[in-house]
A and B are shown apart, each in its own frame.
Chain A
Amino acid sequence: MTTTALPQAQSLPADWRDLLALTKPRVMTLVVFTGLCGLLVAPAPIPPALGFTAILCIALGAGAAAALNMWYEADLDALMKRTASRPIPAGRLDRQTALHFGVGLAFFSVILMGVATNWFAAAILAVSILFYVFVYTIWLKRRTPQNIVIGGAAGAFPPLIGWAAVTGDVATLPLILFALIFLWTPPHFWALSLFVRSDYAAAGVPMLPVVAGAKAARIQILLYTLPMAAAAVAPWPLGLTGALYGVAAAALSLAFILLALRVLFNRATEPSGMRPEKRLFAFSILYLFAIFGALVADRWLIA
């Protein structure tokens, strides 16, 4: 494992912008959106104030997990171009502040979720934070190329949490949404790790393209895309959604598969020749937004 000495954080008090950056606001957008969609498709109304609080708690929980991830991975972040300017490796924030901030935010989000909605949703939120920090960040990420396959479950919890905040339980639809995000995560991250492979290699992170090579990663991307597409379309034939969602999910999944096929047939080994991978990565983000948007549109427009 490659390690590096982190720059000594200055003795100045932390700037609030750096604390905000610890929460990875851009990553949080997708988490909040999928959580909101889980909440909106649940088969019961929720007072707006409680719905807002549930989404706020999902956002704060995701922020807490991100802060704890940056606290633990500061040495790796310092070695990668993509992450070297984050607050801790750049020396703008000391690790202890990040740890206190992350733990505090995690407790706050779980307790507020329990008080405002129900303790079942709070428990799932707690599990998702703990899973991301202990299973993905601390246990898997530096040890196995399957890190994001298993660790991806952490990012799949928000629709479950949103649903549980309304109903107090889980049902088939949120479990399928969980499976969809779980199966979406490997193609999404492996597409990214193909064109930033040198970054991961320099930091010693055993991402699949680093350990098994680009060809194996491209095959795996397609192999995960197929069950992901099945999970995306499944709610329609199961009668859990209407045709609006079914047609949108089928069209979007077909586009995803076609882009994954273009990645499969790409032979480039340098990032400059990895346009298909970059397109798949960009489309995968749009895909999840569009699928969940279609789900809510289906529920609200058809209903």
Chain B
Amino acid sequence: MTPDQDEIRRRQRGRAIIMAVLLVAFVGLVYAITIAKMSLYR
């Protein structure tokens, strides 16, 4: 691999990890919002 390809892979990996973390956090947030909304209307 050329240094450019190395850099492309490094950036793609970094963005993939961040996206994965954000998606997991978003799922947790939607779950928390749902529980909170249910408690409001109980």
Contacts and interface: CB of A to CB of B under 8 A. Distances in A.
Interface in B6-42: 7-8, 11-12, 14-15, 18, 29, 32-33, 35-37, 39-40
Interface residues of B, number: 16
A79 B4 CA distance: 29
A47 B14 contact: no
Contact of A47 (B4, B12, B29, B39): B39
Given A48-B36, A115-B33, 6 more contacts: A14-B11, A14-B15, A49-B29, A49-B36, A50-B33, A50-B36
A300 interface: no
Contacts, number: 36
> Chain B: interface secondary structure?
helix
Interface of B: 4, 7-8, 11-12, 14-15, 18, 29, 32-33, 35-37, 39-40
Interface of A: 12-16, 47-50, 52-53, 56, 115-116
Contacts of A14: 11, 15
Contacts of A50: 33, 36-37
A48 B39 CA distance: 12
